[in-house]
């Protein structure tokens, strides 16, 4: 039996957004009708940035609204895409006259609704570019007609570097290009010891035996392709890291940005163990972790699990990553 | 009822009658279509129809549409406010109907081209072909029949009746198909014998368009089960 801290489960998303915005009155504003979280002070004369998707992944996306990152976040119901109308209103709200980049995690519903919103916002003479985030290595089937890799924790990096580029005055194409560069280079692997539970439900989305680990989970509680034996923190980290290293083909001397991301109920001590093993392994391989983020940034309700994201870094990406940011979930 | 040639504008109230007809017809069929979706899909179509129609009503109350395009805009914006995949696809389909003409009512020929544009849009977003057990199985034959009838010189209501018949036939044919794309592809063989609710809804929309142009005669829904 799992319990949740909720009022009416149907009111969870709007009430949570209200709580977020009340907690950050100088940073954020709420447009209730379409569930948009916007900057308190709208940016001027820059490319707008809108992202969004289903709820349940907090602090993504609304936690990344603010100077140096998103202009607008659009929230759907738990694990359900916002509607095209919501995204359209979000895109209009993000527009400051220089076009809008839409950052979209690769899921059928999200892609459909963002594409439609982009097409219709053309009626209002708003130019849009979609940056699709598809970093999940576990769903890399190589099938060109398939839905492709899912979008997961690399979304944070895409939102950060696009945000910084827009703040620097880059134009629509430039902001989209740097986001696509990150999206195409970044890869993520995830595992879970326990699935998340929908608010108001009493049972998790799937159950695992005590000696089982779900390897290659996404962020919507869907089952993964592989179930492997449970093992200790170092060996669990290796399960994530080995396929990433094989895929990215990193060489001695390369530099990466690493995200050790909790999926909802992994606690900080656990994440630090994963970070420790990651550093030891990459040090042995001669690969420098030049920048890193350890914490819960892209979650799946209360899933007990962790994801590891690696992004090869170059000077431009490092500069954009280091640029100032002021949002509820990321500030420096 | 006056006969309307392909090049003559349809009646002044065709936008209002079309939108009201679509809403009444789909509203009355929402339970039946939702039931089809539970048998061969993800089960949310009935709810999505009702959500869309409520939003359309809100738009009509708020915007007080007068022209053809204003009426159709209230319709398509309502459909873009619902979840699932079919809501936004119907929204974009209705958007193409809204673009059939400027503020004056479209001619039958313009309506036919708008339906064809709507078909192309739905295919562009949904990546479905005829035979995939989707909206397209009703839409494609309807567009072909409408264009053919207008080319043969049949008057507007008569041509739309041919389109309606083709759409119904196309929708009914989906019962024999195992889904390859769209909502029913997730349930595979379980979709056999079940009419695709998206295709059925398209046939009802074409029927509502026929009724709006002909000045009456609600679409038959008895074939949907």
CATH code for position B187: 1.25.40.340
Nearest chain B Cα distance for residue A308, angstroms: 30
Neighbours of B209 (CB within 10 A): 28
ipTM value, please give it: 0.91
Mark yes or no for CB contact B80/A108 under 8 Å: no
Candidate from A228-237, A309-318, B189-198 with smallest mean pLDDT: B189-198
Q: Which of A24, A34, A61, A220 is catalytic?
A: A220
pLDDT tens-digit map of B63-116 = 999 999 999 999 999 999 998 888 999 999 999 999 998 889 999 999 999 999
pLDDT 10s digits, A6-36: 999 999 999 999 999 999 999 999 999 999 9
pLDDT of residue A312: 98
A34, A57, A198, A304: which one is catalytic? A57
A85 and B83 within 8 Å at the Cβ level: the answer is no
Query: Mean pLDDT over residues A231-257, rounded?
Result: 97
Q: Is residue B6 part of a domain?
A: no
- Please say whether the beta carbons of A42 and A71 come within 8 A: yes
Q: Number of structural domains, chain B?
A: 1
pLDDT, one tens digit per residue, over B125-168 is: 988 999 999 999 999 999 999 999 999 999 999 999 999 999 99
Cα–Cα dist B88/B183, whole Å: 13
Nearest CA in chain B to A114: B88
Q: Is B182 at the interface with chain A, CB within 8 A?
A: no
Q: Is CATH 3.30.70.560 the right assignment for the domain spanning A187-320?
A: no
pLDDT of res. B114:
97
Cis upstream peptide for A248 (omega within 30°)? no
In this predicted structure, what is the pLDDT of residue B44? 86
Beta partners for residue A228, in sequence order = A213
Q: List the one residue out of B27, B181, B167 whose CA is nearest residue A112.
A: B181
- Which segment of A261-265, B93-97, B194-198 scores lowest on mean pLDDT? B194-198
Contact B80 A81 (CB under 8 A): no
**B9 within a domain of the structure (yes/no):** no
pLDDT for B182: 66
For chains A and B, count residue pairs whose Cβ atoms are closer than 8 Å. 38
Are B122 and B136 a contacting pair, CB within 8 Å? yes
Closest among A66, A76, A64, A62 to A34, alpha carbons compared: A76
pLDDT at B1: 46
Whether the per-residue pLDDT at A270 is higher than 90: the answer is yes
The pLDDT of residue A43 is above 60: yes
Q: What is the pLDDT of residue B184?
A: 65
Band of residue B187 on the pLDDT scale cut at 50, 70, 90: low
Predicted model pTM: 0.94
Annotated active-site residue A220? The verdict is yes
**Residue A34 annotated to the active site:** no
Q: Is residue A251 very low, low, confident or very high in pLDDT (cuts 50, 70, 90)?
A: very high
Which chain B residue has its CA at the smallest distance from A109's CA? B85
3-state secondary structure of A192: strand
* Confidence label for B3 from pLDDT (cuts 50, 70 and 90): low
Instruction: Determine, for residues B125 and A76 on separate chains, whether the beta-carbon distance falls below 8 Å.
Output: no
User: A85, B125: Cβ pair inside 8 Å?
Assistant: no
CA nearest B213: which of B12, B76, B74, B53?
B12
Taking the Cβ of residue B88 and every Cβ of chain A, the question of whether any pair is shorter than 8 Å is answered with yes
DSSP-assigned beta bridge partners for residue A226: A215
Please state, rounded to an integer, the average pLDDT across all residues of chain A: 96
Residue B36 lies in a domain: yes
Phi, psi of A256 (to 5 degrees): -135, 160
CB of B77 within 8 Å of a chain A CB? The answer is yes
Q: Which of A80, A83, A116 sits opposite B125 (nearest CB)?
A: A116
Q: What is the pLDDT at residue B92?
A: 97
Q: Which chain A positions have a beta carbon within 8 Å of B91's beta carbon?
A: 84, 116
B198 belongs to a structural domain: yes
By Cβ distance, the residue of A85, A112, A120 closest to B81 is: A85
Domain boundaries, chain A: 9-185, 187-320
Closest CA of chain A from B125, distance in Å: 7
| pLDDT class of B220 with cuts at 50, 70, 90 | very high
B139's enclosing H/E stretch is: helix B136-151
The answer, for A85 touching chain B at a CB cutoff of 8 Å, is yes
CATH top-level class of A9-185: alpha beta
Chain A nearest-CA residue for B79: A85
Q: Calculate mean pLDDT across residues A127-140.
A: 96
pLDDT at B224 over 50: yes
Q: Do A83 and B85 touch (CB under 8 A)?
A: no
């Amino acid at each position: 039996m799992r319990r949740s801290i909720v009022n009416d489960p149907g009111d969870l998303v709007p009430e949570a957004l209200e709580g977020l915005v009340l907690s950050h009155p100088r940073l954020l504003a709420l447009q209730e009708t379409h569930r948009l979280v916007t900057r308190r002070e709208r940016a001027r004369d820059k490319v707008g940035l809108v992202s969004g998707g289903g709820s349940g992944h907090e602090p993504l996306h609304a936690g990344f609204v603010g100077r140096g990152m998103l202009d607008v976040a659009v929230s759907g119901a738990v694990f359900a895409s916002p509607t095209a109308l919501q995204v359209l209103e979000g895109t209009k709200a993000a527009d400051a006259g220089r076009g809008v980049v839409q950052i979209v995690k690769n899921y059928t519903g999200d892609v459909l609704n963002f594409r439609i919103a982009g097409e219709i916002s053309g009626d209002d003479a708003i130019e849009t570019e979609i940056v699709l985030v598809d970093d999940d290595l576990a769903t890399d089937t190589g099938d060109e007609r398939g839905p492709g890799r899912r979008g997961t924790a690399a979304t944070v990096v895409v939102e950060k570097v696009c945000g910084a580029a827009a703040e620097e005055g880059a134009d629509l194409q430039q902001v989209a290009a740097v986001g696509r560069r990150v999206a195409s280079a970044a890869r993520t692997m995830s595992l879970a010891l326990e699935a998340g539970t929908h608010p108001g439900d009493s049972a998790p989305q799937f159950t695992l035996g005590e000696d089982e680990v779900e390897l290659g989970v996404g962020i919507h509680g869907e089952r993964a392709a592989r179930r492997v034996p449970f093992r200790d923190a170092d060996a669990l980290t290796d399960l994530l890291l080995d396929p990433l290293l094989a895929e990215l083909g990193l060489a001695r001397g390369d530099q990466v940005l690493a995200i050790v991301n909790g999926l909802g109920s992994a606690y900080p001590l656990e994440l630090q163990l994963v970070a420790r093993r990651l550093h030891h392994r990459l040090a042995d391989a001669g690969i420098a972790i030049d920048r890193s983020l350890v914490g819960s940034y892209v979650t799946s309700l209360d899933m007990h699990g962790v994801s590891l994201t690696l992004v090869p870094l170059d000077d431009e990406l490092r500069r954009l990553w280091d640029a100032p940011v002021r949002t509820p979930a990321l500030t420096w | 009822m006056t006969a309307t040639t392909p090049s003559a504008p349809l009646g002044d109230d065709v936008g209002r009658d079309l939108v009201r007809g679509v809403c009444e017809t789909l509203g009355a069929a929402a339970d039946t279509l939702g039931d089809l979706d539970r048998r061969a899909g993800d089960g949310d179509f009935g709810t999505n129809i009702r959500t869309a129609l409520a939003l359309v009503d809100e738009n009509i109350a708020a915007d007080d549409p007068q022209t053809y395009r204003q009426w159709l805009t209230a319709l398509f914006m309502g459909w873009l406010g619902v979840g699932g995949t079919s809501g936004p696809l119907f929204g974009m389909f209705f958007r193409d109907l809204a673009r059939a003409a400027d503020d004056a009512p479209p001619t039958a020929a313009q309506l036919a081209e708008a339906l064809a544009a709507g078909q192309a849009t739905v295919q562009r977003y949904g990546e479905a072909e005829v035979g995939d057990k989707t909206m397209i199985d009703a839409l494609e034959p309807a567009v072909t029949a409408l264009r053919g009838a207008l080319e043969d010189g049949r008057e507007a209501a008569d041509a739309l009746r041919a389109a309606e018949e083709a759409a119904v036939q196309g929708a009914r044919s989906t019962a024999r198909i195992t889904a390859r794309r769209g909502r029913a592809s997730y349930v595979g063989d379980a979709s056999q014998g079940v009419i695709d609710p998206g295709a059925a809804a398209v046939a009802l929309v074409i029927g509502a368009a026929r009724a709006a142009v002909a000045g009456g005669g609600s679409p038959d829904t008895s074939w949907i089960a």
